[in-house]
Structure 1
Amino acid sequence: MDPLNNMLTILDAEMGAPSRIEKTGSWAVRFDEYQQFRIGAVLRGDIWLRVDGGAPRRLSEGDCYLLGDGKPHVIGSDLTAPASDGDAETAETGGLETARSAAADPAAISSVVLTGSLGLDQATEPLLRSRIPGYVEMKSSSYRSQVARPILELLSRENAWEIPDADLMRLHLSRILLIQLVRTALRTADGCAAAPPDRLLTRMDERIRCALDLIHRQPSKRWTVANLAAAAHMSRSVFAARFRTAVGMPPLEYLEMWRIRSAAAVLQSTDRTVSSVAAQFGYSADSTFSRAFKRVTGRAPKQYRQLAA
């Protein structure tokens, strides 16, 4: 399995309650710095989007976008119009609730944008965030945009309806949405030919990629910083520093995160015993596995399985 598929297999992503922005006339909405990915879909009309320090981008009805660099940004029909506070405006809404122009006649609404935040788990966020461009756009004519729009609409409805299985639906819809966005980011500049599946990692030091591949393929091995560094043909100190810079956490912390997230996926999808899953991922004692599992997921293995059922 290639590195990207490895990451997406254990990925935990969750979409916050999307907000529907409906406007008429000339308008602009400004969003401040953010921590999670921001995603949006233009459901009606044409708008502009400008990230601080960047050029304006034209988005047409049906287009979707992903922002990942955390910079403030403005959307609107007219970027010279006075901008309202998007964070305050959408904080008061969510689900099927709507941030509308004051006294706007619904029949006269010219712009509709669905926007929200997409959070990732700690194991894969550093890799994805450092490799996905700060701006990803899906044009209305693309298959992926046609898939993303209804997912956003479904997420909006799932957030509005208080039903027992809404959390599970949101989790799976969020994963599908993120995979579509990642696949879009892997397209070549002209949007025609697909890039190699491990393109997310091509800008990473090849030796760090080698270490990651070893962890992904042999999670049960008794890895240490020393033997990972040796496999990467680097000194221990240089390897540890470069790994942390590239991945966002120390090697052994990433190893534990990877093992536990992978084990969690097995517990969720099979009826295997906790002991056998622990052994598969390099834990000889159930107690050690349980402590690590709770440290990463916040729950004991059996509790995690029960909640996921």
Structure 2
Amino acid sequence: MAGDQLSEVFDLIEVRGLLSGGFAVHGPWVTRTVIDEPLKFIAVVSGRGRLATDGIEAPIELEAGDVAIINSRSWLELEGGTGPEPRREIVPEPGFPFASLIGAHTGVDDVVIGGRIGLNPVGQALMMQALPPVGHVRGSAVEGANLRGSLHRLLDEVSANRLGSAFAIRQHTQLILLEVLRAYLDQADLPPGWLRVLSDERLRPALRLMHAEPGKAWGLEELARAAAMSRTSFAERFRSIAGVPPLAYLNRWRMLLAQRALRVGDVRVGSLAADLGYASESAFSTAFKREVGVSPLRYRHQVRDEVVPVETASGL
């Protein structure tokens, strides 16, 4: 596991989960929806389902405790249930409380919940690059034990509709998203990228140094020594795991820190440049514009002028 470094990245890319709908049903069923957000998740709390979406060759079988993260798809279809009666089309009702989940019986019903994964623009780009079209996390695996428990605790809050449930649901959904990515790191054959490098045991000592002191002028020799590897072996392994060379990763980490500082504080650009290891404000501004697309001051004005939309839940 990636430990505190995963938490650091979660904070920087502002990961948040929003439960958007769900249903409990007995007998044959199907649900279809158009996807209008980049990253979505579907969880089968109990029962089974077959997930189809654009860009995959065959439907994915989802069992109780499984979660699918759907990346940059335009539609999905999920079907399940058995019995002689015709397949019933389910249209999840929007808004909290989710009436179709109240009184759900996990021993009898197929219970499905869905939501979206919200991130800041940098985080969205990183996550979309790191995940396949559908990331399948298996709740039956050893790594999925905590995830199964989290799903049932979330369902308990949704179905009981107790005082404070809306707040509890937001917190549980956030924890479920963390458990999903933890399990995914352990279960999946990850492509090169930031998720994979965070989970690499051999590179972790070097990552820890870069994360702890991002403003230091780290060299390959020093980072390789921390990882107990030769300079060449370290550079080759890092590039194959992260998809970028070590110093390019360090620069990207600095830019994530810079964007957070510019979003939430009033730090001077010159001070920020010095803290992040740049020789001058001009050098920092050039690097920032190359990575982000606008100057630091322009970025600050843009993010502070944005109207933050009210998060609403609608459908699955």
Q: Is 1:23–1:110's contact at 8 Å kept on the other side of the alignment?
A: yes
Distance 1:164 1:42 in 2: 20
Distance 2:135 2:58 in 1: 14
Q: Is 1:38–1:67's contact at 8 Å kept on the other side of the alignment?
A: yes
Distance 1:298 1:163 in 2: 32
- Pick aligned residue for 1:92 from 91, 94, 108: 94
Report the number of matched residues. Answer: 241
- Pick aligned residue for 1:44 from 43, 46, 49: 46
Per the normalisation by structure 2, the TM-score is 0.57
How far residue 214 of structure 1 moved from its aligned partner, in angstroms, is 1.9
- Pick aligned residue for 1:74 from 77, 92, 117: 77
Distance 1:133 1:189 in 2: 10
Distance 2:51 2:17 in 1: 21
- Give the unaligned 5+ runs of structure 2: 201-237, 276-280, 282-294, 307-316
Amino acid at match of 1:166: F
Distance 1:278 1:190, change over 3 A: closer
Distance 2:100 2:269 in 1: 45
How far residue 130 of structure 1 moved from its aligned partner, in angstroms, is 1.2
**Which residue is 2:287 aligned to?**
none
Q: Is 1:15–1:116's contact at 8 Å kept on the other side of the alignment?
A: yes
Q: Is 1:19–1:98's contact at 8 Å kept on the other side of the alignment?
A: no
Distance 1:8 1:105 in 2: 32
Q: Is 2:48–2:80's contact at 8 Å kept on the other side of the alignment?
A: yes
How far residue 18 of structure 1 moved from its aligned partner, in angstroms, is 3.5
**Which residue is 1:211 aligned to?**
248
Q: Is 1:123–1:258's contact at 8 Å kept on the other side of the alignment?
A: no
How far residue 125 of structure 1 moved from its aligned partner, in angstroms, is 0.9
**Which residue is 1:23 aligned to?**
25
Distance 1:210 1:68, change over 3 A: same
> What aligned pairs does 1:182-193 form with structure 2 within 5 A after superposition?
182-187=181-186, 189=188
Identity %: 15
3-state DSSP class of the match of 2:51? strand
Q: Is 1:39–1:65's contact at 8 Å kept on the other side of the alignment?
A: yes
Amino acid at match of 2:92: T
Distance 1:120 1:77, change over 3 A: same
Distance 1:163 1:27, change over 3 A: closer
How far residue 37 of structure 1 moved from its aligned partner, in angstroms, is 1.7
Amino acid at match of 2:251: L
Distance 1:92 1:118, change over 3 A: same
Q: Is 2:262–2:296's contact at 8 Å kept on the other side of the alignment?
A: no
Q: Is 1:15–1:118's contact at 8 Å kept on the other side of the alignment?
A: yes
Distance 1:163 1:62, change over 3 A: closer
> What aligned pairs does 1:102-181 form with structure 2 within 5 A after superposition?
110-142=109-141, 144-152=143-151, 157=157, 166=167, 170=170, 173-181=172-180
Distance 2:26 2:165 in 1: 36
Q: Is 1:40–1:113's contact at 8 Å kept on the other side of the alignment?
A: yes
Distance 1:69 1:21 in 2: 24
3-state DSSP class of the match of 1:67? strand
Distance 1:44 1:149 in 2: 10
Distance 1:185 1:45, change over 3 A: closer
Distance 2:27 2:178 in 1: 35
Distance 1:47 1:292, change over 3 A: closer
Q: Is 1:136–1:181's contact at 8 Å kept on the other side of the alignment?
A: no
Per the normalisation by structure 1, the TM-score is 0.58
Q: Is 1:20–1:115's contact at 8 Å kept on the other side of the alignment?
A: yes
- Give the unaligned 5+ runs of structure 1: 220-254, 268-273, 300-309
> What aligned pairs does 1:252-263 form with structure 2 within 5 A after superposition?
255=255, 258-262=257-261
**Which residue is 1:197 aligned to?**
198
